[in-house]
Amino acid sequence: MVRPARTPDVRAVRALTAPLAERRVLVAKEAVAYYEGLPELVVAEAGGRVVGCGALHVFWEDLAEVRTLAVADEARGAGVGGLVLAELLHRARDVGVARVFCLTFETRFFAAHGFEEIDGTPVEPEVFAELLRSHDDGVAEFLDLARVKPNTLGNTRMIRYLDEDARAHDVARQRLPRTAGGTSPGLPGAPGGAGQTGRPGQRGSA
Ligand SMILES: CC(C)(COP(=O)(O)OP(=O)(O)OC[C@H]1O[C@@H](n2cnc3c(N)ncnc32)[C@H](O)[C@@H]1OP(=O)(O)O)[C@@H](O)C(=O)NCCC(=O)NCCS
């Protein structure tokens, strides 16, 4: 069963995600961040135990990220991750988002769920500038900022389009997913990009 997380689930979620964060498979977060992010978190429960979790974090009007997606070792390969992801994509549709980003080593899993590999940061330069104001490490990873480079090494950037118009729009802007158009030219005109090191009003790490 996949359901919205409740505060008593946070300990189990942290236990699931801590070893993955240590290996830099997931973004490391302070305990308080899990409580603050509770409304965006779902858990998969089996036999009264939390065996999986995942969250949908909205970045912008038409953009969200799947994060904190993890399944307990002993429960993997049985469809739990797929159910959690399906719930997060359902939430994305519900809140009006048609582009769902993820940064992952699990490319086969995400590709099986309709995600496509991308290069660059598929947002308008104005939106990029606004996102730079975020204090969230996931946003920094999406923007590919230098300060999070050690976290992103070896990961693949992927996106799932929930409607064809959004995809057609990005294709027209030459944000071609590699799978659809060969080598992507990345995002033309995005300020900063890989070389960006700071954010306006930065308060330190999230
Ligand atoms: C990615 C992850 C969440 C997938 O969880 P999972 O529960 O194993 O996922 P599923 O069982 O839905 O799918 C995994 C595979 O098992 C297969 N599978 C699904 N149901 C199955 C079943 N009943 N019997 C056997 N295999 C099955 C799927 O076809 C899938 O195969 P694939 O590798 O070819 O895609 C899990 O591997 C994980 O926690 N990884 C580490 C954290 C991470 O990288 N998260 C993503 C970054 S946000």
How far is the centre of ligand 1, averaged over its atoms, from the C-alpha of 84 (Å)? Answer: 10
Judge whether residue 15 has pLDDT over 90: yes
Of all protein residues, the one whose alpha carbon is nearest to atom 29 of ligand 1 is: 77
How far is the centre of ligand 1, averaged over its atoms, from the C-alpha of 82 (Å)? Answer: 7
Q: Nearest to residue 136, comparing CAs of 21, 51, 13, 33?
A: 33
pLDDT for residue 205? 30
Average pLDDT over residues 73-93: 97
Of all protein residues, the one whose alpha carbon is nearest to atom 33 of ligand 1 is: 109
Ligand 1: residues with CB < 6 A are 20, 25, 66-67, 69-71, 76-82, 102, 104-106, 108-109, 112
> What are all long-range contacts of 30-38, with beta carbons under 8 Å and residues at least 24 apart?
33/206, 34/10, 35/7, 35/10, 37/68, 38/5, 38/6, 38/7, 38/10
Least confident of 2-16, 69-83, 94-108, 172-186: 172-186
Predicted confidence (pLDDT) per residue in 109-125, tens digit: 999 999 999 988 889 89
Predicted confidence (pLDDT) per residue in 122-161, tens digit: 898 999 999 999 999 899 999 989 888 877 888 999 999 9
Which CATH architecture is the domain 56-195 placed in?
Answer: 3-Layer(aba) Sandwich (3.40)
Average pLDDT over residues 61-82: 96
Q: Nearest to residue 153, comparing CAs of 187, 112, 194?
A: 194
pLDDT-based confidence at 204, cuts 50/70/90? very low
Of all protein residues, the one whose alpha carbon is nearest to atom 4 of ligand 1 is: 81
How far is the centre of ligand 1, averaged over its atoms, from the C-alpha of 188 (Å)? Answer: 34
